[in-house]
Structure 1
Amino acid sequence: MSERVELEKTLSPANIWAIALGTIIGFGCFILPSDLMAKSGPIGAAIGIVVGGLIMLVIAKSYGFMVKELPVAGGEFAYAYTAFGRNHAYLCGWFLTLGYLSIVPLNATALAILAKFIAPGLFEQGFLYTMAGYDVYMGEIMLASAAILIFGFFNFKGVKDVGKVQLIMVGLLVGSVLLIGGGTAISSKTAVANMFPAFALDKGMVASILAIVAISPWMYVGFDTIPQAAEEYDFPPEKSFSLIFWAIFFGALMYVIVLLSTAVVYPWTELVAANHIWATGTAMETILGKAGVFFLVTAVCMGIFTGINGFFMATSRLVFGMARAKILPKWFVYVHPEHKTPSNAIMFVGIMALLAPWFGRQAIVWVVDMAALGTTFGYMYTCFGAYVFGKASTSITAKEKGSVKAWGIVGGLFSFAFLLLLCVPGSPGFMATPSWIALVGWVALGIIFYLAKTKEYNKLSTAELDYLILGREKPVSE
């Protein structure tokens, strides 16, 4: 049998924390406040964000345990394999691949939306066609493609560069948001009264809060990229949960700061009704002038860039981990001899991401909506997997077993509830029809891919897969 290809250990705790926070906070943090207020009111949305973060921390407990026990590339793919077997591993990995992969071009195409506010018409050049009601311009495609190529290059050059660049960008992101929050707090043009009524006009307190909790898996997606880089930790994997905790904490804090900074400028019902191109941008310009817009644009750009950078890394590691198990072509396992990165997997992510902007942003949004299902699968497999793994483990105490099983079952039930919110008609998170069509297409493609590789995949013994996926002792004979 072939030797197991491994990745180099170069990432520091600061790098990993920056990757997690940078993937949690993206374009949505700065564009969604008016939508969140319309859905739940300022206070209702803020409470929903915090409650959603607390639920994510429950789920994250299982991630911390599984990363500690199985610090390998592939993350949830490896956890699903360990607890439930090879077929569940493929199912989990296939959905996660789409979830991670689609977020790269989603962030890249967000640059065009930002440009509409700060430089109207600059990139709306070279009209090509209309796709799903969205006008596609060559200028906007080139803008998105440039961002994808730049961060693809960083990922190709080495994961150490990815970590350094991410840390710098996250520093700028956090600093800009804190300046926005501080400037809003001391401005004489703001008023707490503008945040009332506290909840949505068409629903009560509980319904307002739950409407935001329902979308929290999408808002906090990104902390789960930490396991994908576990094989490249240059520190003990036991630190993973604390890094996830602080990433989610700062993520929630930043969401709330931007939301409330927008809400206190004008009566929020008037702000929502005015239907501004960018409500948060308008609010910051009103109270902080050009400086406020500068800091906000800096924050948005950093949120977009850290999302592209982080999900480039996470997707390539997931694909690499699946290919190492021989469920994807061997080509994806190649590691560059100089840069020590899975260069072919990175190239694949880049090519797929470069194709996406040609379909228009609306089509990408449909795919991302559907991909929320994939990340929820990842949460569920990790939590229930922690329960199964903890129950069978002989390396932890009885007290630790009880804790792992409890966190696992509660986190798994939360994850299953999120799955129902996406799939049950009438629920707050029910996916739109185009997203269901995209889901059917992705499932069909997954079945075709699986049937093409299943003979080779199923021929591998459990000992061989344990070696390839988990890095356990290599079998003496084939």
Structure 2
Amino acid sequence: MAELKKSLGMTSLIALGVAGVVGSSWIYTSSTFFADLGAGGMIIGLLIGAALAACVALAYGELTSAIPRAGGEVVWGYTALGRPFGFATGWFHIGAYISSLAFYVTAFGTLLGKYVPGMDAMPLYSIADEAVTAPVLIAGLVLTAIVFALNWWGVSLGAQIQVVLFAVMIVIGLALAGTALVHGSPSNLLPLWTPEQEPVTSTLRMVVPGITYVVGFSLVAVLAEESSLPPARVGRAVVLTVACAAAFYATVLLATAYVVPWEDVAGMELGTIDAFTAAGFPLLGLGAFLIAVLGLVTSFIGLFVASSRVVLALARARMLPHGLARIDERSGVPRRALLFVLAVTVAFGLLGPGAIVWFLDAGGVFLGIVWLLVCIAKYRMPARYPGLEYTYRARPAFLPAVGAIGATLVIAFTVIPVPGVAMSLVWPAEYILLGAWALLGTVLYLVTPAPTDQEGTFREMLGPHADKLLAARRG
């Protein structure tokens, strides 16, 4: 069977990982976060979330260096924990990715509407009190088609575009930071909280969103099979992605709170965009808006290709229809998996933001489950495959366990309402959706028969790594 082409270098992996989840809403919702949590709550909470994510990324890096196979988490869960856990990691990962992709279908046009007039004209229908207009829907569907076309011909083309867009975002971010440093003042930033804002509570409330801000490291692991780098460098790229993403977010947010008083930003509509415009730099305000647009586009590109690779891994393991595992021999692209992702993205995207936001909020729980399972697999793998060689190791070895605790807390604090910490899902819609997704996955798993040729399935899922795993298990 054809294999995925190895065409991604270090720059491409970092760009796909970091820019693949930068997104857009944080640029203009920073005003809301500042108003609710203070500049300190948002920035410090984000960094705590990034630190917890980095602990999980260490587990990803170690496992990637040993088994750099498409759909990483599915493969590790299957080999280390068994078939049910392999399916669970893939299923919840698809839920997290697809919810974001579907949200972007209408979010793109909505974002353009902040500068382009007429995007709110011609409403077509309304779901959950959110109208979907023709211009917004057309813009989103055009973007979806473009992203699909980029991936149809190979991951390298989309990766090259991703690198260029990411470079533009970095240049704009540095311009924002430099301008704020020269023309801003420490008095605009301090104190980090108002007297009415409780520092600990406000910071904790940002940890969950902060974790989701830096999830790009999982994209690197999912795409590891297509990397031309040695496995050790791919493992390091996984961890480096977290540091790069956290640094980018923190730099832009600090610049926002430094160039004008952050308490003034809290009363603005478009966060960083309005902050630099009010400071007398309208071109930089436009630049901040451009970061939002490019962040959405790059996230769409990264998550779209990553989703198809998770589907590919599940299909290779016979936990989704095996036809989805077919790879085009000329392009080295899993085109059927791409078509599957396209169909699901458009189907959910047509529901509009009113419905998809429930799915998007539940995505944090989905990611927490995946991360927890990966951390468990990291510690279970040496017991099941004692002879397996790793070219990158998590140091200190206990840090992925800290990440597992963090993932567990994310799940618990999101699902179980805690007085004074507004982190829980919205009752009842988001709880129903969370349960429905888990139930649908359970039914799908139960009705999908286990393969009769288990060794053949194992070899297809692991590819060239199968013999190494089998030898390590015998060892």
Do the two structures share a fold, i.e. TM-score over 0.5? yes
Residues 268 and 7 from structure 1, CA distance in 2 versus in 1: closer, same or farther, beyond 3 angstroms?
Answer: same
Letter in 2 for 1:56: A
Q: Is 2:339 the partner of 1:347?
A: yes
Residue aligning to 1:65: 62
Task: Give the conservation status (yes or no) of the 8 Å contact 1:115–1:123.
Answer: yes
Residue aligning to 2:357: 365
Letter in 1 for 2:209: I
Q: Is 2:152 the partner of 1:160?
A: no
User: What is the deviation of 1:355?
Assistant: 2.4
Cα deviation per residue 1:247-304 (whole Å; 9 max; x = unaligned)? 22221122122222222344333432x3x43122211212243311331122112111
Match for residue 374 of structure 2 among 348, 372, 382:
382
Cα deviation per residue 1:127-151 (whole Å; 9 max; x = unaligned)? 1122111111011000111111101
Cα deviation per residue 1:35-87 (whole Å; 9 max; x = unaligned)? 22123211232222222222211111100000011111111111111221001
- Counterparts of 1:154-233 in structure 2, within 5 Å, are 154-187=150-183, 190-199=184-193, 201-233=195-227
- Counterparts of 1:218-367 in structure 2, within 5 Å, are 218-272=212-266, 274=267, 276-367=268-359
Residue aligning to 1:430: 424
Instruction: Say how many residue pairs are matched.
Output: 463
Task: Give the conservation status (yes or no) of the 8 Å contact 1:11–1:160.
Answer: yes
Residues 397 and 367 from structure 1, CA distance in 2 versus in 1: closer, same or farther, beyond 3 angstroms?
Answer: closer
Residue aligning to 2:85: 88
User: What is the deviation of 1:379?
Assistant: 0.9
Letter in 2 for 1:139: P
Letter in 2 for 1:211: R
User: What is the deviation of 1:156?
Assistant: 0.6
Structure 2: 5+ residue stretches without partners: 471-475
Residues 39 and 393 from structure 1, CA distance in 2 versus in 1: closer, same or farther, beyond 3 angstroms?
Answer: farther
Task: Give the conservation status (yes or no) of the 8 Å contact 1:5–1:324.
Answer: no
Cα deviation per residue 1:310-347 (whole Å; 9 max; x = unaligned)? 00110000001100111111221121232210011111
Work out the CA distance in 1 between the residues paired with 2:123 and 2:201: 43
Q: Is 2:394 the partner of 1:406?
A: no
Work out the CA distance in 2 between the residues paired with 1:299 and 1:175: 10
Work out the CA distance in 2 between the residues paired with 1:92 and 1:200: 41
Work out the CA distance in 2 between the residues paired with 1:428 and 1:379: 22
| TM-score, length-scaled by structure 2 | 0.91
Task: Give the conservation status (yes or no) of the 8 Å contact 2:110–2:119.
Answer: no
After superposition, the CA RMSD in angstroms is 2.3
Q: Is 2:440 the partner of 1:440?
A: no
Letter in 1 for 2:230: P
Task: Give the conservation status (yes or no) of the 8 Å contact 1:215–1:429.
Answer: no
Work out the CA distance in 1 between the residues paired with 2:123 and 2:37: 37
Residue aligning to 2:33: 36
User: What is the deviation of 1:177?
Assistant: 1.1
Identity rate of aligned residues, in percent? Answer: 24
Q: Is 2:113 the partner of 1:107?
A: no
Work out the CA distance in 2 between the residues paired with 1:21 and 1:292: 22
Residue aligning to 1:132: 128
Q: Secondary structure at the match of 2:279?
A: helix
Cα deviation per residue 1:209-229 (whole Å; 9 max; x = unaligned)? 222223322221222111111
Work out the CA distance in 1 between the residues paired with 2:286 and 2:206: 29
Structure 1 segments of 4+ aligned residues over 6 angstroms from their partners: none
Residue aligning to 1:459: 452
- Counterparts of 1:5-84 in structure 2, within 5 Å, are 5-84=2-81
| TM-score, length-scaled by structure 1 | 0.91
